[in-house]
Amino acid sequence: MILEGIVTTISAEGVVNIAPMGPHIDSDSASADWTHFTLRPFRTSQTFANLIEHGEGVLHVTDDVLLLAKSALGMLDPLPPLRPARKVRGWVLADACRFYEFCIVSCDQQSERARFEAAVVHSGRLRDFFGFNRAKHAVLEAAILATRTAFLPLDEIELEYRRLAVLVEKTGGEQENAAFDLLRRHLQEIKERSPHQPEA
């Protein structure tokens, strides 16, 4: 099972990096075993560099899709509220639902996406998980697509955004609409900068 979450890591200089990431959990049931999981960051990502340099971090479960969208776009300035992790050298998102502090126990760098095996050393619950309605799911899908603009056709992404926009408009609240507007503006800016767009 792959769960969409947010991972915080730190660089050798102690700079915090916040990135959306879907860990592989060894269960398809609601009672998933959270003692370990697998992360598959691209070898070009800051998360990869940080975990190679310092093999610790924190995985978060959150229903804050605006935070997910901003982290997908690298637009977290200022950073959201953080608090020091308890068992690792790292940071916990203060408004997450659940968090899992982890240490990397093995790493395979043979493919484009590395494979980090992580062991959970401490976990906690900060608040109830609100849940994902159709709008939150739509924003999550749009955020994933926003990280694929370098190799997916922009017109196809835009077409999918139009479909997802209907779900956000029908079932979204303030947070979902703000997140989707941010993602839509980001896509439009990329299209305007792209040299491959046809002339009007």
Total structural domains within the chain: 2
Radius of gyration of the chain (CA): 17
Query: Tens of pLDDT along 13-25?
Result: 999 999 999 899 8
Stated pTM of the model: 0.87
Are 79 and 175 in a shared domain?
no
Domain that holds residue 138: 134-193
Query: Tens of pLDDT along 163-186?
Result: 999 999 999 999 999 999 999 999
Q: Which residues contact 116 (CB under 8 A, 6 or more apart)?
A: 38, 39, 40, 41, 51, 55, 104, 106, 107
Residue 81 sits in a domain whose CATH number is: 2.30.110.10
Query: Considering the domain boundaries, does residue 108 fall inside one?
Result: yes
Query: Considering the domain boundaries, does residue 9 fall inside one?
Result: yes
Query: Tens of pLDDT along 120-165?
Result: 999 999 999 887 899 999 999 999 999 999 889 999 999 999 999 9
